[in-house]
Structure 1
Amino acid sequence: MGKLFDLDSPFMRALNKIADLMLLNLVVLFFLVVPFTGGAALTGMHYVLLKMVRDEESYIIKGFWKSFKLNFKQATVLWIIVLVVGAIIGVDFAWIYYNADKVPAAYTYIMFGVSILLYMVSLYIFPLQSRFDNPIKRTLKNSVMFAILGLPRTVGMTLVSLIPIVLLYFFDMQILPILILFGVTGPSFLMALMYNGLFKRFEPKVEEEETKEPVNDEDDEELQAAIKRMQEARDRK
């Protein structure tokens, strides 16, 4: 029984992750309410969640805030793009609703299909922003590519992301306290479990390129001098 409550036991690690998800969810909700900070908040959230999935040591608030500040400008632009596209789709569906007798059924089905595809692509935007350093245009292109390469996990991510809406539909406001604690980070953590393997396929090349730094003449001279000292020390032995 004592081992169950050891700090390194699976039970305690699970409890720690639950507590971290709860704390992170409250922070993310706060910034989602504040105008124009939603993109940076989702980026910071996915930065922390990916570390949690990989069991990498990370302070929740410190890691979130680090990614939030680092990606704020670009994530905000991406957030505005997502909101604008979402608003256009919403207006289009409202127009279809009020003109149902005039709009062909085929147009409704096409709009529904396009909306689903765009939503699937949007699920990768902020995880990619949190992990890879790319221009906005490249991030959007990569989101499309990952959504395609990630099939069928992209479908799974879509279904998981809709869990809060499904819970609200069936349980109404009774489920609201749970959603306040885990409504954003809970589904997003499950999504991170799904896209983690896909991200790893591309990370080695990126990390290798990032670690390659040009060697100037001074560095080369210092390296040669160090090698010479090592050879002289070996000869003395």
Structure 2
Amino acid sequence: MIQGLFDRVAPLWRAAETLGAIIVVNLLLTLTALPVLTFGAGLTATYDTSRRLQGEDDRGATRIFLASLRSNLGRATALWALVAPVGAAIVASWIFLPVPELAVLKTLFTLVFVLVFPYVWTVQARFENTVLRTLRNAVVIALARLPYTLGIAVIHLGIGAIIVATWNLLPQFLAFLLLLGYPLVVFGVTPMMERALAPYVSAGQADTPGEPQD
């Protein structure tokens, strides 16, 4: 029985490996966030690494992340240059435009942005397209697969609620959650994201490590 605890396929060992991978990916994502401009490439690599690790890629989180970062650096950086200002504008509208008549419009834009945001980086990692086509596809898939999109949003909100509750009730554990960071959410939504993208992924398409699918 004790020997079984150290079996690499044991649930406890698998959970420990997953947590370790999430911590590693969070550290790498944080490094890509420091220059700001490369944060989009870091997000793309995070979603790609989560998918590959959950798909039994055994190269290790660091190697997968760096390979994906290199592969997606150019287009993902261009995507971030478009997406980040939109997000900043939405936040600024809530802070600096407290106009009741604009509340509905601002809510609509915020909702669309939040729902589409995860798809941008996943679509970039999975398909070879131009920047504008990737953005268009992310919007189309997010809306076409709305039940999955809402499920992904619920997972984001649920983990966010856990963090807030930990902050208020168990602050001694907050450092551990911060160590896991946003990749904790990414690893949580990956199975549902894969179901959302399933109809768009070509059957039998080779999944070459470090290279996005078409």
Structure with greater contact order relative to length (CA < 8 Å, sep ≥ 6):
2
2:116 corresponds to 1:121: yes
Q: In structure 2, what is the Cα distance between the partners aligned to 1:202 and 1:57?
A: 25
2:170 corresponds to 1:192: no
Q: TM-score, normalised by structure 1?
A: 0.77
Q: Percent identity?
A: 24
Identify which range, 186-195 or 24-33, moves more after superposition.
24-33
Q: Which has the larger radius of gyration?
A: 1
2:150 corresponds to 1:155: yes
**Which letter does structure 2 place at the counterpart of 1:8?**
V
- Structure 1 residues 53-105: Cα deviation after superposition (integer angstroms, max 9, x where no partner): 222323211111011011111101111211100111122212332xx4xx42x
Report the alpha carbon displacement of residue 114 of structure 1 after superposing the two structures with TM. Answer: 2.0
Tell me the SS of whatever aligns to 1:201: helix
Residue pair 1:120, 1:158 contacting (<8 A) in 2 also: yes
Residue pair 1:36, 1:79 contacting (<8 A) in 2 also: yes
Residue pair 2:148, 2:193 contacting (<8 A) in 1 also: yes
Match in the other structure for 1:222:
none
Q: Find 1:145's aligned residue among 132, 140, 143.
A: 140
Q: In structure 2, what is the Cα distance between the partners aligned to 1:176 and 1:34?
A: 26
Report the alpha carbon displacement of residue 167 of structure 1 after superposing the two structures with TM. Answer: 4.0
- Structure 1 residues 174-220: Cα deviation after superposition (integer angstroms, max 9, x where no partner): 35412332121111111111111232322225827x9xxxxxxxxxx
- CA gap 1:7/1:170 in 2 versus in 1, 3 angstroms: closer
Residue pair 1:48, 1:58 contacting (<8 A) in 2 also: no
Matches of residues 67-86 of structure 1 in structure 2 within 5 Å?
67-86=68-87
- CA gap 1:206/1:8 in 2 versus in 1, 3 angstroms: closer
2:61 corresponds to 1:60: yes
**Which letter does structure 2 place at the counterpart of 1:207?**
Q
Match in the other structure for 1:8:
9
- CA gap 1:111/1:177 in 2 versus in 1, 3 angstroms: same
Q: Which runs of 5+ in 1 are unaligned?
A: 211-237
**Which letter does structure 2 place at the counterpart of 1:39?**
G
Aligned residues: 203
Residue pair 1:32, 1:41 contacting (<8 A) in 2 also: yes
Residue pair 1:96, 1:108 contacting (<8 A) in 2 also: no
Q: In structure 1, what is the Cα distance between the partners aligned to 2:141 and 2:120?
A: 10
Q: CA RMSD of the aligned region, Å?
A: 2.2
Q: Which runs of 5+ in 2 are unaligned?
A: 209-214
- CA gap 1:195/1:168 in 2 versus in 1, 3 angstroms: closer
Identify which range, 125-134 or 12-21, moves more after superposition.
12-21
Q: TM-score, normalised by structure 2?
A: 0.85
Residue pair 1:44, 1:68 contacting (<8 A) in 2 also: yes
Identify which range, 80-89 or 193-202, moves more after superposition.
193-202
2:84 corresponds to 1:89: no
- CA gap 1:16/1:169 in 2 versus in 1, 3 angstroms: closer
Residue pair 1:150, 1:195 contacting (<8 A) in 2 also: no
**Which letter does structure 2 place at the counterpart of 1:86?**
G
**Which letter does structure 2 place at the counterpart of 1:202?**
Y
Identify which range, 13-22 or 163-172, moves more after superposition.
163-172
Tell me the SS of whatever aligns to 2:66: helix
Match in the other structure for 2:199:
201
**Which letter does structure 2 place at the counterpart of 1:62?**
R
